[in-house]
């Protein structure tokens, strides 16, 4: 069936709450209001206030209560309005949820899912950041960042059934994207598995979350110019499945990482290191990165556009890698 990304996430929540009575939702405005992005709309009426709980505006309290509930045997799905608001709760997530299984010699598990939103437009410097890489740095946390409705559905269900804490990152601009979702309540998409979104022979484009759409659009432009790009969707940042990336690079000999976060110390930096460590001899040129500008996100629309990676930049990077920059004719977009 065809669903939007938002509907796919809601469907996954409903299916898992129907399947397992231990699953419950809590967060700011998730009940009567239906969530800031309307993902939990209607769930309060369906499951009642015991399983869909509005909370006070305290992210640290929400994460602490969620961690305690998970250690007590429940399966909480916590919604944090945006990934920017995880900063006040970082200690609960990083020094609490991510570590308890290790610090107590495996006696406790923390099956906690933290749903949150990255990206966005016209939200300025403190509300539209892509901070997922901060959390992907932390052992003990799993970080998922799906790019399609089918993956959002299958990966969220896998996250809810996972024994470890999972940060589930939903890009704000993906909520209205439509796509086919399997009509099977037991269909899961495993965490930590990259996938090939488009096969190609000339260059490897690696992306995650909404940047996958950017990479696919660039691949279409490149195809019109006779360059076949292979697009790899990471889907999870931790665990990071670099296998399909390395396999692709050994075939194409060229790699460009496309990401909305900042280039310095970003996901592309980690991927570049992995490729250099494990597939250096296959490379025909440097690994390039197309990422956000190294500035806090501006509010003005024209400046915001300049700060975000664009299709033309991806095509430009590929053209320079292939020594064909002079052959590329830019089209107005």
59 a catalytic residue: yes
187 a catalytic residue: no
Same domain, 321 and 200: yes
Same domain, 236 and 166: no
Domain region containing 165: 2-180
Domain boundary among 180, 212, 230: 180
Same domain, 165 and 215: no
Could you tell me if residue 216 is inside a domain? yes
Which residue matches tokens 């999972």? 166
- Pairing verdict, β 113-118 and 229-233: unpaired
CATH code for the domain in which residue 259 is found: 3.40.50.920
Which residue matches tokens 């660039």? 218
Same domain, 175 and 282: no
Same domain, 122 and 220: no
308-333 pLDDT, tens digit each: 999 999 999 999 998 865 444 444 33
pLDDT tens sequence for the chain (333 residues): 999 999 999 999 999 999 999 999 999 999 999 999 999 999 999 999 999 999 999 999 999 999 999 999 999 999 999 999 999 999 999 999 999 999 999 999 999 999 999 987 788 888 888 999 999 999 999 999 999 999 999 999 999 999 999 999 999 999 999 999 999 988 999 999 999 999 999 999 999 999 999 999 999 999 999 999 999 999 999 999 999 999 999 999 999 999 999 999 999 999 999 999 999 999 999 999 999 999 999 999 999 999 999 999 999 999 999 886 544 444 433
Q: Which one of 7, 15, 16, 59 is the catalytic residue? A: 59
Could you tell me if residue 80 is inside a domain? yes
Same domain, 258 and 213: yes
Same domain, 155 and 7: yes
Same domain, 164 and 269: no
CA distances from 183 to 46, 144, 250 (A): 20, 22, 36
Could you tell me if residue 15 is inside a domain? yes
Could you tell me if residue 189 is inside a domain? no
Q: Which is nearest to 11 in space by CA: 235, 189, 160, 185?
A: 185
Looking at the chain, the number of H-run helices and the number of E-run strands are 12, 14
Residue pair 178/149 in contact (Cβ under 8 Å)? The answer is yes
Q: Which is nearest to 110 in space by CA: 100, 120, 119?
A: 100
Same domain, 173 and 209: no
pLDDT given at position 333: 36
How are strands ordered across the β-sheet holding 203-207? 195-198, 229-233, 203-207, 255-262, 288-292
Could you tell me if residue 190 is inside a domain? no
Domain boundary among 131, 148, 180: 180
Could you tell me if residue 185 is inside a domain? no
- Pairing verdict, β 166-171 and 142-144: parallel
Q: Within 13 Å and on the Cβ side, how many CA atoms surround 142?
A: 26
Which residue matches tokens 């095509």? 315
Give the DSSP H or E segment for 227: none
Domain boundary among 180, 215, 235: 180
Same domain, 123 and 224: no
CATH code for the domain in which residue 114 is found: 3.40.50.970
Same domain, 98 and 220: no
Rounded Cα distance between 74 and 160, Å, is: 11
Could you tell me if residue 112 is inside a domain? yes
Same domain, 100 and 6: yes
pLDDT given at position 121: 78
Could you tell me if residue 248 is inside a domain? yes
Domain count for the chain, please give it: 2
């Amino acid at each position: 069936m065809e669903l939007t990304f938002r509907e796919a996430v809601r469907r996954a929540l409903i299916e898992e709450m129907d399947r397992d009575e231990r699953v419950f939702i809590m967060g700011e405005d998730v009940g009567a209001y239906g969530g800031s992005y309307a993902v939990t709309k209607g769930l309060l009426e369906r499951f009642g206030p015991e399983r869909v709980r509005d909370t006070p505006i305290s992210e640290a309290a929400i994460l602490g209560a969620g961690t305690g509930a998970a250690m007590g045997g429940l399966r909480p799905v916590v919604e944090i309005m945006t990934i920017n608001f995880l900063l006040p709760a970082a200690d609960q997530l990083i020094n609490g949820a991510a570590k308890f299984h290790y610090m107590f010699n495996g006696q406790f598990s923390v099956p906690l899912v933290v749903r949150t939103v990255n990206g966005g437009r016209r939200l300025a410097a403190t509300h539209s950041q892509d901070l997922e890489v901060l959390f992907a740095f932390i052992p003990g946390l799993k970080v998922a960042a799906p790019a399609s409705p089918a993956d959002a559905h299958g990966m969220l269900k896998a996250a809810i059934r996972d024994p470890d804490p999972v940060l589930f990152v939903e890009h704000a601009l993906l909520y209205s994207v439509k796509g086919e979702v399997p009509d099977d309540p037991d269909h899961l998409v495993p965490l930590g598995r990259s996938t090939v979104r488009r096969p190609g022979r000339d260059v490897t484009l690696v992306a995650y979350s909404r940047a996958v759409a950017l990479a696919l659009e660039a691949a279409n432009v490149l195809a019109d110019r006779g360059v076949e790009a292979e697009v790899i969707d990471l889907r999870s940042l931790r665990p990071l499945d670099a296998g399909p990336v390395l396999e692709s690079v050994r075939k194409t000999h060229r790699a460009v990482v496309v990401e909305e976060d900042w280039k310095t110390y970003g996901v592309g930096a980690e991927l570049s290191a992995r490729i250099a460590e494990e597939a250096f001899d296959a490379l025909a040129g440097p690994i390039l990165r197309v990422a956000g500008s190294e500035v806090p996100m501006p509010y003005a629309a024209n400046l915001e556009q300049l700060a975000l990676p664009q299709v033309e930049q991806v095509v430009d990077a590929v053209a320079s890698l292939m020594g064909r920059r002079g052959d590329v004719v830019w089209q107005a977009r």
